[in-house]
Amino acid sequence: MTEQESSASQSVSMRFGAWLTQFIVPLWVFFGAFSKANGATAKSLPRSILDAGGIIGIKDHYIWLLVLLIIEFIFVGVMFFMPKLARSAATLLLSTFLLVLLVEMFGYGNYESCGCLGEHSLSPMMMFAIDFLLLLGIIIFKPKPMTCTLTNCKMGFVSFVIFIAITTWYSADRILTERNSSSGEVTTLNLPNSWYPQDLGSWDGKSVDDIELFSWVEWPEDIRVGKQYVIFYGMACDHCEELLYMHFEFDVQFPTTLVAIPESKDEFNEDGAFDNPCFDCIKTRLPLGVDWIIGTPMVIALEDGIVRCAIESEESEYPACLIW
């Protein structure tokens, strides 16, 4: 390769590196952050992040979502309007995303959805592959070092501030509006804005009277008598439909209560509901007004009102908690 060809190749590499850090990566991150802001649901946050918020004392999932979105938009603004810092910002943010995805997959066993692009997202494995390739590109294709004149720096900073102001206002408006919307049931029952089952394994051996989730549902009078199953399900949940057809279509041997989970804070997915095969099951519902973050189907085995097994996202072929 001649010196001229080498120089041309290096120029293309630097140009691609600049495009990657100042255009492609920030657009990718912006798309994900905007999707989460527009969806305005705590379901966008993976369990590892929800738990992390609880550890640092942030119990309100909507406020936690807003804080994280503002941080993401700050990184996007830096990549868009501060070229000198774009590569460092992209490297740090993508590395953080990859770390969270690793924890989510191998620490929490979540291979379904990470919420990275809002409530309806790609699988953590797919997101990991995309973010890893972007990070690899940033490492390989180093952009040309940028100089910053006083005028350029000033314009970039002003643009950055305007961008952060607009995205923060939009995110806060969407998320806080959704957070403050509630039904009469929420007020009557003193329900949280959002809820997810923390440390589900600790339920084993507990009475249903000591688990707050059970206080929010209308149960049959004999829920504390004998061996029973409780299944929290989504009306349009394919995994739930499969579980019910495989194990509860005929000859239900133990009393089973099906608890429908709202699709959103204000509605059940009645139109997309599957045909429930369990005619002998007792049916009830969780109240509206709460962002229920539950991996469906969630199966709970009870004996005289005591939890003997509880699991989210139960397998239909080899169920862990259908123990009776």
What is residue 166's predicted lDDT score, i.e. its pLDDT? 97
Give me the torsion for CA of 291, 296, 297, 298, rounded to 10°: -60
**Is 11 within 8 Å of 145 (Cβ atoms)?**
no
**Is 211 within 8 Å of 307 (Cβ atoms)?**
yes
Give the rounded percent of residues in the chain with a pLDDT score beyond 90: 57
Looking at per-residue pLDDT, the higher value among 270 and 203 belongs to: 203
Q: Where are the domains of the chain?
A: 3-180, 191-311
d(Cα 173, Cα 154) in Å, to the nearest integer?
29
* Per-residue pLDDT reduced to its tens digit, 90-108: 999 999 999 999 999 998 8
Most confident of 111-115, 131-135, 187-191, 262-266: 131-135
Handedness of CA 236, 195, 45, 51 (dihedral sign): negative
What is residue 71's predicted lDDT score, i.e. its pLDDT? 97
Average pLDDT score, the chain:
88
Q: Which DSSP state fits 263?
A: S
Place of tokens 């005619």: 279
Q: What are phi and psi of 39, to 5 degrees?
A: -70, -35
For residues 122-143, give the mean pLDDT. Answer: 90
Give the three-state DSSP class for 42.
helix
Element (DSSP H or E) covering residue 8: helix 3-19
Looking at per-residue pLDDT, the higher value among 225 and 5 belongs to: 225
d(Cα 208, Cα 305) in Å, to the nearest integer?
6
The encoded tokens of residue 299 equal: 């199966």
Own/partner pairs for 267-273, CB < 8 Å, 24+ apart? 268/235, 269/234, 269/235, 269/236, 270/235, 272/235, 272/236, 273/235, 273/236
**Is 276 within 8 Å of 287 (Cβ atoms)?**
no
* Per-residue pLDDT reduced to its tens digit, 219-232: 999 999 999 999 99
Asked if pLDDT for residue 5 goes beyond 70, the answer is no
Most confident of 6-10, 114-118, 119-123, 244-248: 244-248
What is residue 273's predicted lDDT score, i.e. its pLDDT? 82
Q: Which amino acid is at 49?
A: I
**Is 134 within 8 Å of 32 (Cβ atoms)?**
no
Which CATH code is given to the segment(s) 191-311? 3.40.30
Alpha carbon 278 to chain centroid distance?
30
d(Cα 269, Cα 195) in Å, to the nearest integer?
19
* Per-residue pLDDT reduced to its tens digit, 198-207: 888 899 999 9
d(Cα 167, Cα 135) in Å, to the nearest integer?
25
Provide the whole-model pTM.
0.85
Give the three-state DSSP class for 273.
coil
Q: How confident is the model at residue 183 (pLDDT cuts 50, 70, 90)?
A: low
Alpha carbon 94 to chain centroid distance?
17
Q: How confident is the model at residue 179 (pLDDT cuts 50, 70, 90)?
A: confident
* Per-residue pLDDT reduced to its tens digit, 36-64: 999 889 889 988 999 999 899 998 999 99
**228, burial (CB in 10 Å: exposed 0-12, middle 13-18, buried 19+):** buried
